[in-house]
Amino acid sequence: MRPEDFDFDLPPAQVAQVPAPERSGARLLVVGVGLADRTVADLPDVAAEVFDAPPLFVLNDSKVVPARLDARRPRDGRTFELLVCAPAPGQGPGAVVEAWVRGARRLAPGDRLEAGDLVLRFAGPSEVDRRARRFVVEAGDVLAAVEAHGRVPLPPYIRRPPDARDAQRYQTVYARAPGSVAAPTAGLHFDDALLARLDTVRITLHVGPGTFLPVEVDDVRRHRVGRERYEVGEAAAARIEAARAEGRPIVAVGTTTTRVLETVAARTGGPIEPGAGTTDLVIVPGHRFRAADALWTNFHLPRSSLLMLVCAFGGTARVLSAYRHAVASGYRFYSYGDAMLVLPQTRGAR
């Protein structure tokens, strides 16, 4: 499978640069036996129409932190922009952290960078992510520094600087656990009124910058992303398993949630059990889905690992046909764009 097998044409004007006026006011494309154009606010009605039993929606409650940080090198006053890869509580003196650095080639071993009270010492390239650089924390706390001095890490296809609205809208209303450097964007469409009409449960995956990595291998099965931290609580696992036992469909809200569910199900042989760990799972066509019965997602970049995951679930030809319909119908794409509900392929087609 080649990256070009997952390509499509998208007019630049359809890349959403700002969120919809209301979260649930975005458009919704339902990919079932055919295609249906709805709105996100219709989701409870759509669910009643397409599922035989009330679905359980599994949400990712990771919270985006303002992980783009300008840090100054004292010896010459030069400023470097850092995208901290995995900001987390407890990254104080002695901790080793990684960041994507704009201008990294100008760093020398031992260089110190400062941002407020935070002092980082450059320790060399990452051993696992060719784009990242390692730093040792000499003073301060990483999470406190980005919260105080950082900027919302909008994706590169949003061609404007972050502003006040992004602090709220590039964040789900149910975000709880700080640690993501990119939003689990499928959840951006849910507001409190919509959530009140759905049965939901929350798990956590902290999204790293690997979500932005282009697929640069000839065979997409060889694409790799960095490891990301996840957690499935005891109550959440019990609710998911109870729903499955009752024959209720599990709707994975977003590719991040899907990757956690499939990681856990692969480890256990099927059941969703509580636990925490890391995953670098990349899902491409041919993957056997064990946990997700339907997928709620945004529209993704051409040739991206996220689009490949959606094609793995919904069928490449079927999903790309839906994308062509969305382009022709004026849907808005990517993080601040519209939504899809992808139902399973016919039996034996996946």
The answer on pLDDT for 1 being more than 80 is no
Q: What is the CATH number of domain 68-149?
A: 2.40.10.240
pLDDT tens column, 28-76:
999 998 999 999 999 999 999 999 999 999 999 999 999 999 999 999 9
Residue 84 and residue 152: Cα distance in Å, rounded?
12
Q: What is the pTM of this model?
A: 0.92
Q: What is the mean pLDDT of residues 205-233?
A: 73
The answer on pLDDT for 306 being more than 60 is yes
Token pair listed for 26 = 């975005």
What integer best gives the mean pLDDT of the chain? 92
Q: CB neighbours (10 Å) of residue 23? A: 20
DSSP letter string over 276-339? Answer: EEEE-----TT---SS-SEEEEE---TT-HHHHHHHHHH-HHHHHHHHHHHHHTT--BSTTS-E
Intrachain domains 3-64+159-342 and 68-149 with the same fold: no
- Nearest residue to 185 via CA among 323, 11, 26, 343: 26
Q: Sorting pLDDT into bands at 50, 70 and 90, what band is 350?
A: very low
Question: What is the domain class of 3-64+159-342 according to CATH?
Answer: alpha beta
CA angle in degrees (0–180, nearest 5) for 143-148-154: 80
Residue 270 and residue 257: Cα distance in Å, rounded?
16
User: What are the sequence ranges of the domains in the chain?
Assistant: 3-64+159-342, 68-149
